[in-house]
A and B are shown apart, each in its own frame.
Chain A
């Protein structure tokens, strides 16, 4: 049970949030022009990193806003939190 610093509400318990998987996977603007392989790349392929991972979280039982989190999956340490559309503050 970690604590997430929601960019809109501040620090809240993890139980208020839901996880939304890997961040920065943009839905293709013109899906019809993609091959099966290209579409499958978007649809199915996720990195599932052991270590520092960029991921999406939703403050489901709060402001309902989606945002991004940089989290170390080995120890749940959160390195950064930033809004949708913003550039990651760290590489």
Chain B
């Protein structure tokens, strides 16, 4: 096998040989190689198949813009990683990679048949074809599309690696370590600014660091040598942090940026020095200097996608940075001067090189030099076709007509195995636009450039449209000086001697003798969209660039159109006869290059995914076999199964025990707000629907809170602890929102009120004991307290002491049973609970969870805000008119209760439902109808709560039904997938309407 490594360079250590596997075969490369350069050094170009037509594709670039060479790392393992760009992954011992989107292998791929049926799968093929017949979708189309969709294979096991998030602040952030970034960072750091320089490669210097060319001299030194010294000096600066292998992913407002640092991806398994694979930096910088460079444009011509067709600057880098040639018969195909550097580099190595230039003639310094060396140049010419299935072997050249719209003369077919293409340069304005900046269009070389600035940032170097070495150094110096308010820098007198481009000619879609419909002129290589597809979209009436993009999927692949977007725009503008500047661009969205999910979530995985709140009694619940339910962030006991009980059996047992003897519930999670101040009772008057001024000290009252739109927002019992002191309870899920809503009113609408709110949810634990024997148990616990009904009636409270610890006892009930709640400082919660269990032993005290609590309150017809209400229910809809004060002048939501919409009589209203068959349990959320014969069937409402009541020995349900108040006794239907359940509308209170149990 011929060796394509022809040169020694500073960046590849040819004494350090590394073995790696590609598609199962072992190859060798060197330390410093990327997977791409190592493959090229072994003569491997074909590395993948294209997405739609499965055409053979080769390495096309040397950076993050690579559309073709995307690989599967560690293929066939459970921790494989898809879509890794071979041009970015650094070679390490034992690296295994494979090509994607091909079967059985990249050389012989069955899917290649798509290439031959391609006339039948144009843009929008999926939208047009899979519309009918409808029945085909589920069993035929969808499985087919799923099989062919997506690139690569996902890993099947959870990611074992660690990922970090770190915040960092600085004065100046420089994005990009090319020549302009290095100059900017040096000026900034030397001026005393705390500076960070970020580059995605492992070596600084960008493309100048391998610019080994007599035509580019800085202070009489070859540019690469000058820059090398600058970098050495830069590394010594104290207030400069250099982060290599780090790519900026997003630029948000107020100079907040995200950058991903690769820590171990370039190391072999045994050499990984850190457990952390990647780190996401969250950077807040006072000023940002964007020096992200430019991406070379390909040219659009027939069959421009064959392996061996590579960007000219990449051919140059593979040679001068990695020491690798991409072919033996090289052609440069260009519309500008920059590709001539590639030609010179190849020529100097004695490798055959010829040039095809679409320009008519130009006489710049570098072109003259090339001509003097005797390198053939085909002026005013274009490539019209290419040949070679798995690797380019020849090309066809024709002359261009005067205006460039056609080809003339005869075809010349020549041998060529590497075509280095250059269609000019596209400044990377991604960061500028992500930050909110706008763009200008420069006609002369058809580029979008940064325009107005929103925050403190500038763009310098080629991302700002400076492509000549002298302009880059001069303008970078001027702009950085002005950003940092400096008078003078060390770069004032830097003397540059370089070649300058004199002529430009740009043709977005190169002409051909063959009709466009019969050519394959690729624009988006990864998504296989061609010039033909773009024109088809325009013929079909698409005009907006955003629509054309989505219809043809141009620019929507993992490379986000870094190579394709400008050509798509150019062809649309040309075809539609509008100026590119007015057409605008598609939106540049973060991330700039794909981020791993690991980097995004960082350490917030597993138990750290969300905060878990546990009550102080949690350990006891675990010991007693509780099953838990998530309520917001709280873990609440759901039910406590005994032996082999299932949930239904456990809940039935718990419910029966609570009504027959005694039950105990951990109610610590209920929101608790301590309210103090001389206007506390007036405040409650304004936030609850009922009256509070007359509530006596030591008494409790249930309150309903509305939103200003009249809809029920929260509920709970509030106790008057003193003249100016109340304790409010809220629903578990609503606690935080209620507090912030009350704060809002206090601070903004009623600042005159003397009221202070403090959240005490976490400060107290609550044990709630209910059942006919609860009083007996309380008497055992608190022998000194008088539990006589006259002295301690329903809805009242007493302070007491247990084991010298203060506690509060409220006689309140959410179950309809005689019931007490004991509040104690949270750290004593578990001890109190254990004392309650102990005291209740003789009465078969039964711990119950949220499911039983829900069942018990449903028997009694008590609502749960958020289950029986959904933000569209007024208290009147809930048939809770009794709690809405008629006398109070105002309270939150009062005015909304008689808006034309809220007084409608046919609103959905809360009712009870009983099934005809008392054993039949309805499904919560099931629809309710009255007539199933008339189509479409009219939906009247839905079931909100449903249980089998062991105490009533029948199924009960709560539901919201249109006009339900007037339907009592009426038959309705709950239609299910395989049957219709007959139900009867009932009262919503199923048990003890007379409150005998409460007051027992």
Contacts and interface: CB of A to CB of B under 8 A. Distances in A.
**Chains A and B come from one and the same complex:** yes
Nearest to A78: B254
B748 A31 contact: no
A60 B253 contact: no
Interface in B889-935: 889-890, 894-896, 899-900
A18 B741 CA distance: 12
Given A31-B890, A56-B748, A75-B253, A36 B740 contact: no
A62 to B, nearest CB: 13
B744 interface: yes
B740 A58 contact: yes
Contact of A2 (B253, B890, B896, B900): B253
B748 A34 contact: no
A85 interface: yes
A56 B745 CA distance: 13
Residue from A1, A34, A36 having most chain B Cβ neighbours under 10 A: A1
A25 to B, nearest CB: 10
B735 to A, nearest CB: 14
Contacts of B895: 28, 31-32, 34, 39
B743 A75 contact: no
Interface string A69-91: 00000011100000011000000
Interface string A37-76: 0011001000000000000101010001110000000011
A84 B889 contact: no
A12 to B, nearest CB: 12
A79 to B, nearest CB: 13
Most chain-B CB neighbours within 10 Å: which of A20, A28, A31, A76? Answer: A31
Could you say which of B708, B740, B748, B890 has the most chain A C-beta atoms within 10 Å of its C-beta? Answer: B748
Nearest to B895: A31
B899 A2 contact: no
Contact of A27 (B454, B747, B749): B749
B634 interface: no
A71 to B, nearest CB: 11
A39 B896 contact: yes
A64 B748 contact: no
B702 interface: no
Contacts, number: 56
Contacts of A26: 749
B254 A20 contact: no
A77 B900 CA distance: 41
A39 B454 CA distance: 39
B747 A31 contact: no
B760 to A, nearest CB: 15
B747 A36 contact: no
Contacts of A43: 708-709, 896
Given A1-B253, A34-B895, A66 B748 contact: yes
A26 B708 CA distance: 13
B748 A84 contact: yes
A40 B436 CA distance: 36
B854 interface: no
Nearest to B746: A66
B744 A20 contact: yes
Contacts of B862: none
B871 interface: no
A20 B743 CA distance: 12
A43 B751 CA distance: 20
A80 B545 CA distance: 37
A39 B740 contact: no
A2 B254 contact: yes
A50 to B, nearest CB: 14
A57 B385 CA distance: 62
Given A3-B254, A26-B749, A31-B895, 18 more contacts: A1-B252, A1-B253, A2-B253, A27-B749, A31-B890, A31-B894, A32-B894, A40-B899, A43-B709, A56-B748, A60-B740, A66-B743, A75-B253, A75-B436, A75-B454, A76-B254, A76-B436, A85-B751
Interface of A: 1-3, 18, 20, 26-28, 30-32, 34, 36, 39-40, 43, 56, 58, 60, 64-66, 75-77, 84-85
25 contacts: A1-B256, A2-B254, A18-B740, A28-B895, A30-B890, A31-B894, A31-B895, A32-B894, A36-B900, A39-B896, A40-B899, A43-B708, A43-B896, A56-B748, A58-B744, A64-B740, A64-B743, A65-B747, A75-B253, A75-B436, A76-B254, A76-B436, A84-B747, A84-B748, A85-B751
Interface of B: 252-254, 256, 284, 436, 454, 708-709, 740, 743-744, 747-749, 751, 889-890, 894-896, 899-900
Q: Kindly list the 7 A-B residue pairs having the minimum CB-CB distance in the complex, ordered from nearest.
A: A31-B895, A76-B253, A2-B254, A75-B454, A1-B256, A66-B747, A75-B436
